[in-house]
Amino acid sequence: MNKIKSTISILILSVLFTVHANAQAGKTIVNNAKELDQAIKAAKPGDHLVMANGVWTDIIIKFKGVGTEAQPIVLEAETPGKVFIEGQSRLRLSGEYLEVSGLYFRNGFTPKSTIIDFRTDNESVANHSKITNCVIEGFTQPDREEKDNWVQFYGRHNELSNCYIAGKSNPGPTLRIYLNGNENINNHHKIINNYFGERPRAGGPHGETIQLGDSYTSMTPSYTQVSNNLFERCNGEVEIISSKSNFNEFTNNIFFESEGSLVLRHGNYAKVDGNVFIGNENSTAIGGVRVVNTGHWVTNNYFYKIIGSDFRSAIAVMNGIPKSPLNRYNQVTDVVIAYNSFIDCISPLQFSVGNNSDKSDVLPATELRSARPTRTIVANNLIYNHDVNETKPIFAYDEVDGVSFYNNILNTNDVSGIDTNGGLTQEDFTVNKVTDWFYTPSKSFSDVYNGFDFEQISKDLVGNDRTDNSAIGAVTFPFDDKGKVEINKSQYGPKWLDRSGKKAKSKTIKVTSAEALAKAVKEANSGDVLELKSGTFKVSETMKIDKDITIKSAGKKKVKIVYSGAANTALFQMLPKGNLNLDNVAIEGSKTQDAFATLEKNMSTVYKLKINNSEVSKFSSVLRTYKGSLADSLVVSNSTIKDCTNGILLAGEDDDKGDYSAEFVTIENSTFDNVDQNVLNYYRGGYDESSIGGTLVLRNNTFKNSGSKEESKILLQTRGIVNIDFNGNTFKDNAVSYIIVLWGEKGQVSVNNTIDNSGEVKTEQNLKMKLMY
């Protein structure tokens, strides 16, 4: 009996202890939206609201509460990364000292304008609150033209930390900070230790990763800190970060092969210190820092293989518009650019970028950028190129009379032709390789310029003291890296996130019939190769491409695919994320269908198409695209296009807002024969400078007997496309007035092209484009 009593006593004590422990911890596990809503309404400081593991679909979370600094109210996943927010879902929070942790947004999109919003309505904002250890991946709108912001800041002292955010393909900044109203200024927000993964090219404007304010609140103080983040291939547009407010700090971030720049677009007195910008030898779209407005300090930054120019140079200091309105370009004044290192950057220092004084015939006076930078100091910078040929470290689009140079050095002969008054000198030195992308000088250059307030630059790139050991460039000598010059992805974003990037092993699938081909296209894994047995495949249904696959002939002889589908359908329909490589195959229609086409709507992200060593004949169009679709790359090589009504149609973006339908188009070593109209119609409208602007390579092709029904009388229509390489093509018996109209101001020229009975090549120096602002 005593033993039984003892056992009961122990059980009672155990239960009491457990209840006490749970009460003390304040943990409430919730399993559905109703329970979550009730728990939020009842939450007190120190409480933890725990969302049960699993998939939460179409969940609208309105997290309101008042915690304290010592006892925040926490909304967290039962297991970090195991609570999946899917469908049409969003999260809003308001109050004081709230924290959200461990949620994974995927397989869905927001039904409103934001995924995460630091306010629950126009009157209720969050302060001292935090989103941490969360993931938002591919949570993008089905319609690529539908605009939203993924994370939206209001209030003061809020934080986004240790999150992974990637895959936004629709317009709107990934993260945006609002400063409308006194409750949102002097906000001191923190964006720290995050991993901003790939953002696909947008094919137009409004693809920023971070935007801090807007032009109409650009004179307000923000004091936002953006530090210790990794930006990897954030390619949305020219402005990766767009700073449009005052007193922001951008420190110790890494920008890895991201096509754009950290842009001080509006606002004043930004600090840009200790950042790393990594480019490569292949892309001129990867930039560094672009400077507009007043009082910025750009110090201790490291630039590697930033080979772009103009807006995408390592340092781009812009011309302004005299008496500029808030939403355009103010003159650069009182800027310091000091203690930076430039390794293998072709022309790293570019001034009066955007000077367009010569375009008064196509632009109004309010758009002419003629106000040169003034009272700007460039000092103690180091420039090194492994290629010891003569270089132009400074490139100027106007006079450089408002910039003062002091104690800058380079290792090559300067042929810039810019008078720096001895402020840029050639020195004999080498560099030591520390990592694949990080180099340090082999000796010290300690004769530094000590300008006004330069004592505030007290540390170097990795935190070494400059007070008693200063040196020209981003790092002091001898160099102590303190383990800070490696890209360790595990230091960014959530610790629980799997960064292995493992992919299923690709395989080759032997295909012997049309039925087997349709089945293989549907069931293949991304990366698989479908190898067609010799003969003719008669196909009557559209094949949908939503993965990376190759379709090729098994032998050297081209297999033929004959498409008998209904009129106005496509043999291959390109879906979001589709990537088709057609290799050594002949495809044939009956003049009423398309060879390739996109969806008419809901092209949520980019696709890719490559046609190599193939033949396309008897189709209504080779490629038909619709508004809202974007080909990241389109390649036609070593192929024949013949007997088609239309060729390649890339003109769906016709509202002149800066958008276009393909980022990179390459047509090489191919023949176009008897294509009635729209041999190539590649269009971009609207005066916009925020994107690559489209790139077209036309080399060593033959165009003949085409254009007989072309209403524009232009064989190759490329209006508004910025980058064109037009070289070595042959044109014979094409019934048009013009082969192509080139844009002279963008450096487009005709090189080694042969013309026989095919009209002429026309060049317009300046195109008049519709103003967007």
Q: What is the pLDDT of residue 1?
A: 42
Q: What is the pLDDT of residue 482?
A: 66
- 141-194 confidence digits (pLDDT tens): 999 999 999 999 999 999 999 999 999 999 999 999 999 999 999 999 999 999
Beta-strand runs (E) in 245-345? 249-251, 254-256, 261-266, 271-273, 276-278, 289-291, 297-299, 302-304, 315-318, 336-338, 341-343
Q: What is the pLDDT of residue 483?
A: 65
Q: What is the phi/psi pair of residue 703, to 5°? A: -120, 120
CB 580 within 8 A of CB 598: no
- 322-375 confidence digits (pLDDT tens): 999 899 999 999 999 999 999 999 899 999 999 999 888 888 988 999 999 999
- Preceding peptide of 478 cis, ω within 30°: yes
Answer positive or negative: Cα dihedral of 11, 17, 23, 25.
negative
- Characterize the bridge pairing of strands 124-127 and 175-177: unpaired
CB 428 within 8 A of CB 388: no
Place of tokens 């400077």: 291
SS3 of 519-586: HHHHHCCCCCEEEECCCEEEECCCEEECCEEEEEECCCCCEEEEECCCCCCEEEEECCCCEEEEECEE
The encoded tokens of residue 468 equal: 């008693």
Q: What is the pLDDT of residue 499?
A: 80
Q: What is the pLDDT of residue 480?
A: 78
Domains of the chain by residue range: 651-773
Residue 645 backbone zone (phi > 0: left; psi -120 to 50: alpha; other: beta): alpha
| 164 bridge partner residues | 135, 195
Instruction: Enumerate residue ranges in the chain where pLDDT < 70.
Output: 1-25, 482-484, 773
CB 581 within 8 A of CB 550: yes
C-alpha distances out from residue 34 to 37, 59, 60, 398, Å = 5, 10, 11, 64
* Burial group, residue 223, by CB count within 10 angstroms (0-12, 13-18, 19+): middle
Interatomic CA distance for residues 228 and 254, integer angstroms? 7
- 549-572 confidence digits (pLDDT tens): 999 999 999 999 999 999 999 999
C-alpha closest to that of 702 among 646, 748, 649, 758: 758
* Burial group, residue 604, by CB count within 10 angstroms (0-12, 13-18, 19+): buried
* Greatest pairwise CA separation for the chain in angstroms: 113
In this structure, which amino acid lies at residue 365?
A: A
| 738 bridge partner residues | 714, 760
C-alpha distances out from residue 412 to 263, 344, 393, 429, 440, Å = 29, 11, 9, 10, 16
CB 295 within 8 A of CB 258: no
CB neighbours of 519 closer than 8 A, spacing ≥ 6? Answer: none
C-alpha closest to that of 446 among 377, 376, 378, 382: 382
Q: What is the pLDDT of residue 18?
A: 36
C-alpha distances out from residue 764 to 169, 656, 735, 760, 768, Å = 33, 19, 21, 13, 10
Q: What is the pLDDT of residue 168?
A: 97
Interatomic CA distance for residues 144 and 577, integer angstroms? 13
| 387 bridge partner residues | none
Helix (H, G, I), strand (E, B) or coil at 211: strand
Interatomic CA distance for residues 187 and 158, integer angstroms? 8
In this structure, which amino acid lies at residue 211?
A: Q
Place of tokens 């593991």: 53
CB 758 within 8 A of CB 708: no
| 76 bridge partner residues | 50, 101
CB 215 within 8 A of CB 191: no
The encoded tokens of residue 29 equal: 């596990």
CB neighbours of 455 closer than 8 A, spacing ≥ 6? Answer: none
Interatomic CA distance for residues 670 and 595, integer angstroms? 17
- Characterize the bridge pairing of strands 439-441 and 431-433: antiparallel
